[in-house]
Each structure stands twice: as structure tokens, then as C-alpha cells.
Amino acid sequence: MEKEKTALLTVGEGDFDRLVLDSPQPAVVDFSAAWCGPCRSIAPVIESLANDYADRVTVATVDIDDNPRLAARYGVRSVPTVMLFAGGDVKRVLVGARSAEVYRAGIDDLLH
């Protein structure tokens, strides 16, 4: 069985600036970790957002264990932390697992 293609990007310290900060469209970044239960619980929501907003928003995930400098750069102290970026700047930070509606509202605010 073939795995379904997703619009969700996995980014790290080497490509974060290019794929997120320099993106011509808003970006949503999920800072998470493999050992984090709440991160695993929102992972399908984040993937769904990536697919639903694929043409309008860059949606990415960053593993904080693999990218500790990136987590430190943005002051991530708890996971999951979802940051919404526009024009290379952080516009909103959502700490902890939230509902899909909360993430969608934040994205819709970026788009309008």
C-alpha cells in the first residue's frame, strides 16, 4: 500500500530560514518531539492543515531533539508549540495541544 502524499514539510536548522522565514506565504511550524504524547495527538491535525491549506500556507514540523538550536532560537520550552509566521516574523504562538478549530482560526487570521 502506497503512503498518501502530504504537503507537510519536515524542516531543520539547515533549511528553516529558506522554507519558513523566506516563504512568500504565511507559515505554520509545529515544534514537537517523538516522545511527546500531546505532539503525537495533534500530528494528524497538523498534517490535515498542511493538506487543506497547501496552496496558501507553508506547514512544517520541527523535531526539537534533532534541532535544539532552532528550538532555543524561538524560545520553545514546551512541546507541542505551534508558531504562526508571516513575512518572516512570529505572529502567534500556541503552546500545548489545541483543537483543529483553534489552529484554523489562527491560520485564517494570517490569511486575512
Residues carrying an active site annotation: 36, 39
Task: Tell me how far apart the alpha carbons of residues 29 and 60 are, in angstroms, rounded to a whole number.
Answer: 5
Cell numbers for 90: 512570529
Q: Which residue has the cell 487570521?
A: 109
CB 59 within 8 A of CB 26: no
